[in-house]
């Protein structure tokens, strides 16, 4: 089975992506690499710096040294750094929301996005609109920060984290789909689905499906 390196900038992302693999691709071999100073430095500096980009190169090279057949980054505020890694490596490299964006673009013309980490929103909006332009799609993206949710989760108040996200999601109920921007939001997806009629998309589930399709391509049929 392929070995997948999961590179995290926060420990809160580990559980949701591991659970997503367990549900949809349990045979995949996972390796977790964590640098939780990245999210702290990104929030402190307010931008992606050259030093941070170099750290992504180091993390990706380390993942390759572990024998990774593919790399999935789970940190949603570092798109350009991940694109730089993907451009120089031969193995598949996925941005955290790449697969979810692709799924959302087939869901309708009005897409909502909930985020709990404010610095991730500008880069994610830019990436989403760029993906839409490449697909020739005209999409209205409605982004909403859920204040206090990430602080609640960091303090161990998972119920409050979920409640805040569900309440915010109800304000996007008219959208054709609602995306949950952070991996750490994925466990709230079912509760949000019960509160809104719109499909709810999560980065972990979409990413696992895309990686599985890329790495387990059916063998060509020999014609005799």
First to last CA, the chain: 29
Q: In this structure, is residue 185 part of a structural domain?
A: yes
Do 72 and 105 lie in one domain? The reply is no
Q: In this structure, is residue 223 part of a structural domain?
A: no
pTM: 0.88
DSSP 218: P
Do 109 and 72 lie in one domain? The reply is no
Q: In this structure, is residue 151 part of a structural domain?
A: yes
Do 64 and 110 lie in one domain? The reply is no
CA distances for 142 relative to 41, 67, 126, 139, 149, angstroms: 27, 39, 13, 10, 18
pLDDT of residue 207: 96
Do 107 and 192 lie in one domain? The reply is yes
Which CATH number belongs to the domain containing residue 107 in this structure?
3.40.50.1860
pLDDT of residue 222: 53
CB-CB neighbours of 111 under 10 Å: 25
Do 29 and 106 lie in one domain? The reply is no
Do 68 and 114 lie in one domain? The reply is no
Do 90 and 115 lie in one domain? The reply is no
**Structural contact between residues 110 and 138, judged by C-beta atoms closer than 8 angstroms:** no
pLDDT of residue 218: 60
Range of the domain at 137: 98-203
Do 59 and 130 lie in one domain? The reply is no
pLDDT of residue 46: 87
Q: In this structure, is residue 86 part of a structural domain?
A: yes
Average pLDDT per block of 10 residues along the chain, 224 residues long: 95 94 97 94 90 96 97 90 95 95 96 94 93 94 97 96 98 95 95 96 96 79 53
Which spans in the chain are helix H? Answer: 14-24, 37-45, 50-65, 79-88, 98-104, 120-134, 149-154, 158-170, 189-195, 203-215
pLDDT of residue 173: 83
Sign of CA dihedral 79, 25, 61, 183: positive
d(CA 83, CA 28): 24
- Edge-to-edge order in the sheet of strand 3-8: 29-34, 3-8, 70-73, 93-94
pLDDT of residue 56: 96
Structural domains in the chain (count): 2
Do 90 and 114 lie in one domain? The reply is no
């Amino acid at each position: 089975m392929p070995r997948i390196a999961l590179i995290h900038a926060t420990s809160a992302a580990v559980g949701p992506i591991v659970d997503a693999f367990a549900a949809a691709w349990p045979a995949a071999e996972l390796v977790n690499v964590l640098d939780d100073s990245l999210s702290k430095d990104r929030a402190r500096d307010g931008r992606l710096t050259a030093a941070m980009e170099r750290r992504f190169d180091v993390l990706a090279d380390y993942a390759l040294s572990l024998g990774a057949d593919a790399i999935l980054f789970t940190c949603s505020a570092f798109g350009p750094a991940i694109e730089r890694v993907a451009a120089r490596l031969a193995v598949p490299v996925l941005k955290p929301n790449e697969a979810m964006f692709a799924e959302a673009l087939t869901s309708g013309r009005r897409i909502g996005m909930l985020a709990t980490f404010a610095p991730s929103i500008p880069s994610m909006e830019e990436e989403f609109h760029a993906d839409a332009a490449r697909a020739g799609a005209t999409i209205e993206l409605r982004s909403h920060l859920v204040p206090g949710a990430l602080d609640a989760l960091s303090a161990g108040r998972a119920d409050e984290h979920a409640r805040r996200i569900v309440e915010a999601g109800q304000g996007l109920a008219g959208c054709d789909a609602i995306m949950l921007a952070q991996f750490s939001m994925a466990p709230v997806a079912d509760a949000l689905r019960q509160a809104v009629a719109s499909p709810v998309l999560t980065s972990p589930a979409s990413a696992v499906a895309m990686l599985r399709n890329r790495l387990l391509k059916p063998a060509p049929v020999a014609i005799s």
